[in-house]
């Protein structure tokens, strides 16, 4: 029987992410082993913090190539918060190159009157890929929990799976392409809607068995 690897690179909100997965009926394995990532049947990449230290930590552990190989092999992959951002080519937050799996850049919210940065708290998704497996069973335009000052700006618009509006700015809140999915918000902090998403991801993993 395979296992789901939750990548530990000292930047993740590991325990709450794992708790959410356990509630969804799947037992994750926290690891920073390239071999574990190669052997895992699915991957979750959580993350909290800054862009440059995150990619530095991944590279220092030799995890960049195993992550890319797992995605190329078609394994279900879920990035969360910073785990979404580091999939891109770079960020206005730092100077390090990202993993470059998704074309585009991470950008900072533009200042405007009465706009709070970071974007923190509950906000409503607009699903742009409504038939995505990750969204199955959700109510229309679900509320989820955000904490971020930067957002992803993909080059290819069809990779966007959901957007969110903060102030006058509508930005990407989730991406999806084949087996690769990643979200800016925290499903593990998003009550029933987040638990439904994690349950959907767990179902995808079980279907691959």
Q: What is the mean pLDDT of residues 100-108?
A: 98
Confidence band for 172, pLDDT divided at 50, 70 and 90: very high
Q: What is the mean pLDDT of residues 129-155?
A: 96
Nearest residue to 182 (alpha-carbon basis) of 69, 84, 40 = 84
The CATH number for 101's domain is: 3.40.50.880
- Give the number of domains in the chain: 1
pLDDT score, position 135: 98
In the predicted model, is pLDDT for residue 198 greater than 70? yes
**19 vs 128 pLDDT, higher one:** 128
pLDDT score, position 25: 82
Give, in order, the Cα–Cα distances in Å from 113 to each of 58, 104, 110, 157: 37, 27, 10, 28
Encode pLDDT of 25-69 as tens digits.
888 999 999 999 999 999 999 988 899 999 999 999 999 999 999
pLDDT score, position 91: 98
Q: What is the mean pLDDT of residues 120-138?
A: 97
In the predicted model, is pLDDT for residue 21 greater than 90? no
The CA-based angle 110-191-40, given to 5 degrees, is: 90
pLDDT score, position 1: 56
| Catalytic annotation, residues | 81, 186, 188
Q: Cα(204)–Cα(34) distance, rounded to whole angstroms?
A: 23
Mean pLDDT score of the chain, rounded to an integer? Answer: 94
Read off the pTM.
0.96
Residue 97 CB coordination number (10 Å): 14
Confidence band for 2, pLDDT divided at 50, 70 and 90: confident
Expressed as residue numbers, the domain containing 47 is: 4-208
pLDDT score, position 52: 96
Q: Cα(54)–Cα(162) distance, rounded to whole angstroms?
A: 24
Q: What is the mean pLDDT of residues 171-178?
A: 98
In the predicted model, is pLDDT for residue 154 greater than 70? yes
In the predicted model, is pLDDT for residue 84 greater than 60? yes
Q: Cα(111)–Cα(135) distance, rounded to whole angstroms?
A: 31
**83 vs 10 pLDDT, higher one:** 83
- Per-residue HEC secondary structure of the chain comes to CCCEEEECCCCCCHHHHHHHHHHCCCCEEEECCHHHHHHCCEEEECCCCCHHHHHHHHHHCCCHHHHHHHHHCCCCEEEECHHHHCCCCEECCCCCCCCCCCCEEEEECCCCCCCCCCEEEEEECEECCCCCHHHCCCCCCCEEEEEECEEEEECCHHHEEEEEEECCEEEEEEEEECCEEEECCCHHHCHHHHHHHHHHHHHHHHHHC
């Amino acid at each position: 029987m395979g296992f789901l690897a939750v990548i530990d690179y000292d930047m993740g909100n590991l325990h709450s992410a794992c708790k959410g997965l356990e509630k969804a009926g799947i037992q994750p394995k926290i690891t920073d082993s390239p071999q574990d990532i190669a052997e895992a049947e699915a991957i979750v990449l959580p993350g909290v913090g800054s862009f440059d230290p995150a990619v530095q930590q991944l590279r220092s552990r030799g995890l960049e190539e195993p992550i890319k190989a797992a995605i190329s092999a078609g394994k279900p992959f879920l990035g969360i918060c910073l785990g979404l951002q580091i999939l891109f080519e770079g960020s206005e937050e730092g100077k390090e190159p990202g993993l470059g799996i998704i074309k585009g850049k991470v950008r900072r919210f533009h200042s405007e009157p009465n706009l709070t940065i970071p974007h923190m708290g509950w906000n409503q998704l607009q699903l742009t890929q409504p038939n995505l497996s990750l969204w199955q069973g959700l109510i229309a335009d679900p509320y989820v929990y955000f904490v971020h000052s930067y957002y992803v700006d993909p080059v290819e618009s069809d990779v966007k799976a959901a957007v969110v509006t903060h102030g006058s700015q509508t930005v990407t809140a989730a991406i999806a392409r084949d087996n690769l999915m990643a979200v800016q918000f925290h499903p593990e902090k998003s009550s029933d809607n987040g638990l439904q998403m994690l349950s959907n991801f767990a179902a995808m993993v079980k279907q691959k068995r």
